[in-house]
Amino acid sequence: MGDIYSDYILSTEHRPNFSTFVEVDEIPIIDLSETSQENLISKIGKACEKWGFFQVINHGVPSDLIIKVENEAKKFFELSMEEKKKLKRDVFNATGYHDGEHTKKTRDWKEVFDFLVKDGVQIPSSDDPHDSGLCTQTNHWPQCLPHFREIMEEYGGKLEKLSYKLLELIPLSLSLALGNGPHKDPCILTVVAQDDTRGLQVKKNSVGGWVPVKPIPGALVVNLGDILEVWSNDKYDSAEHRVVVNSQKERFSYPFFLFPGPHIMVKPAEELVSDQNPAKYKRYNFGKYYANRTHADFCKQDAEGKEIHHFKISD
């Protein structure tokens, strides 16, 4: 391997320290085919409270579909840079190909292809509250891979269905009726299919460091995002996680992010707020927040995007 470009180099505080990896095998595995709804909800509630991360098995996403996704993804990332750059994301359209993503102002060592399950979503063009401009997010598909779009759309549809199922179960666990660098996800929840290359880790201070989320054949990884942290009024945590680069082997993963619509105001669920347990976050508009994050993510270097702790109400 040649020299590493300087923008990939993490500050010392964010560099993986291999002596702090914790080999505990505790990240819960939840069987979604469990017949007792009560047991299932209780297991999900415990996993959310303790970890903000769990893996699901018997989740209903066909394994042959995941294999097809892997094959198409490999073909896509092996395309020439010229071909991939035809689908390059820009500052107004966050879908498509990207190889310069930054987390915490440092360039991630990864290539990304993003698409939206609902094509053509309009989001605010900036985070300025007086700017009512909208920009439309349109998917771009590689023309030279004839099955890519169909397979990715099928995968997105299945993951959307699964994430809605999880979104029924997680609020029930809160007793609510349904009413790459270290980071937290800004969405509601994330569901990830990962290959067998280790690298994904979740931060767990109580056990002293970063815990590997070990690949389990057929399982999908679920992690709570910032919005569930706010909705649950801090009962659940949007767990910090990262992906460590493997020096021997490239790693593929297929995350699905469940986002609310851009008009949604995010705030703690009223049923969880009382005089004894006041709201821990101010309400924020998701579209404006997302516009700020996308801009910061794209332009980066100096700008640090908004994070939910900026909406925290101090005790």
Ligand X SMILES: O=C(O)CCC(=O)C(=O)O
Asked if residue 73 binds ligand X (CB under 6 A), the reply is no
Size of the site for ligand X (CB under 6 A): 8
Asked if residue 193 binds ligand X (CB under 6 A), the reply is no
Residue 121 binding partner per list Fe ion, ligand X, none, with a CB distance cut-off of 5 to 8 Å that depends on partner kind: none
Out of 255, 262, 268, 287, the residue judged to bind ligand X by CB under 6 A = 255
Name the DSSP letter for residue 312.
B
Residue nearer to Fe ion on the CB measure, 76 or 257: 257
Asked if residue 241 binds ligand X (CB under 6 A), the reply is yes
Minimum gap (Å) between residue 103 Cβ and ligand X: 8
Q: Which residues contact 88 (CB under 8 A, 6 or more apart)?
A: 96, 97, 98
Q: Which stretch binds ligand X (CB under 6 A): 92-100, 135-143, 192-200, 264-272?
A: 192-200
Minimum gap (Å) between residue 224 Cβ and Fe ion: 11
Q: Which of 141, 124, 142 is nearest to 133 (CA)?
A: 124
Asked if residue 200 binds ligand X (CB under 6 A), the reply is yes
CA distance 304 to 297: 8
Residue nearer to Fe ion on the CB measure, 142 or 305: 305
Residue nearer to ligand X on the CB measure, 253 or 292: 253
Residue 108 binding partner per list ligand X, Fe ion, none, with a CB distance cut-off of 5 to 8 Å that depends on partner kind: none
**Which 3-state string (H, E, C) describes 219-242?**
CEEEEECHHHHHHCCCCCCCCCEE
The three-class DSSP label of residue 78 is: coil
Residue nearer to ligand X on the CB measure, 222 or 266: 222
Torsions phi, psi for 302 (to 5 deg): -95, -35
Asked if residue 192 binds ligand X (CB under 6 A), the reply is yes
Name the DSSP letter for residue 136.
E
Asked if residue 162 binds ligand X (CB under 6 A), the reply is no
Out of 253, 290, 295, 308, the residue judged to bind ligand X by CB under 6 A = 253
CA distance 153 to 188: 20
What are the angstrom distances between the C-alpha of 181 and each of 14, 187, 203? Answer: 8, 17, 12
Helix ranges restricted to H, the chain: 37-50, 63-77, 81-85, 148-173, 226-231, 286-299
Name the DSSP letter for residue 108.
-
Residue 200 binding partner per list Fe ion, ligand X, none, with a CB distance cut-off of 5 to 8 Å that depends on partner kind: ligand X
String marking each residue 5-44 x if it binds ligand X according to CB under 6 A: ----------------------------------------
Q: Which residues contact 110 (CB under 8 A, 6 or more apart)?
A: 99, 101, 180, 243
Asked if residue 94 binds ligand X (CB under 6 A), the reply is no
Contact residues for ligand X (CB under 6 A)? 185, 192, 194, 200, 241, 243, 253, 255
